[in-house]
Amino acid sequence: MNRDILTGVESMHLDGDELVVRSTVKPVPGARAIRDLKPAIITLAQSAERVGVGESLIRIVAEFGEDLADIRDGQYTGAAIDNAITTIARRRQWGMVSGEVKAGRPP
């Protein structure tokens, strides 16, 4: 994935099962790529919620940039993604939160 897909993206979060993307520019430069990779982004958001990572979804997506297509295509199990997010969160010293706080959701 080209990390430029996040250019201009101010925030992204899940609202139920829908991915909400807010941008500082219109149209969003990476809108097509975001749309194509939406299943992977949703998978990462759900995994981050499950393991209690409170980092923004944009940062999580950026960390997994090169693997988004593989995640979208089902190359990794849910447990593997959970483990990867937890490992990255510890290495990056991201905050771990309770299950009530949803990953990437704005306050």
Beta strands in the chain (DSSP E): 9-15, 18-23
Distance CA 54, CA 97 (A): 6
Domains in the chain, number: 1
Q: What is the largest CA-CA distance in the chain?
A: 36
| Mean pLDDT estimate for the chain | 87
Q: Residue 104: inside a domain, yes or no?
A: no
pLDDT of 75-105, one tens digit each?
A: 999 999 999 999 999 999 998 875 444 445 5
The answer to the question of residue 57 being in a domain is yes
Residue 72 resides in a domain: yes
Q: Considering the domain boundaries, does residue 107 fall inside one?
A: no
Range of the domain at 11: 3-92
- Which tokens belong to 101? 């706080």
Q: Which phi-psi region, left, alpha or beta, contains residue 52 (left: φ > 0; alpha: ψ -120 to 50)? A: left
CA separation for the pair 107, 91 (Å, rounded):
25
pTM of the predicted structure, to 2 decimals: 0.84
Instruction: Evaluate whether residue 105 is within a structural domain.
Output: no
Note the pLDDT tens digit of each residue in 6-22: 888 999 999 988 999 99
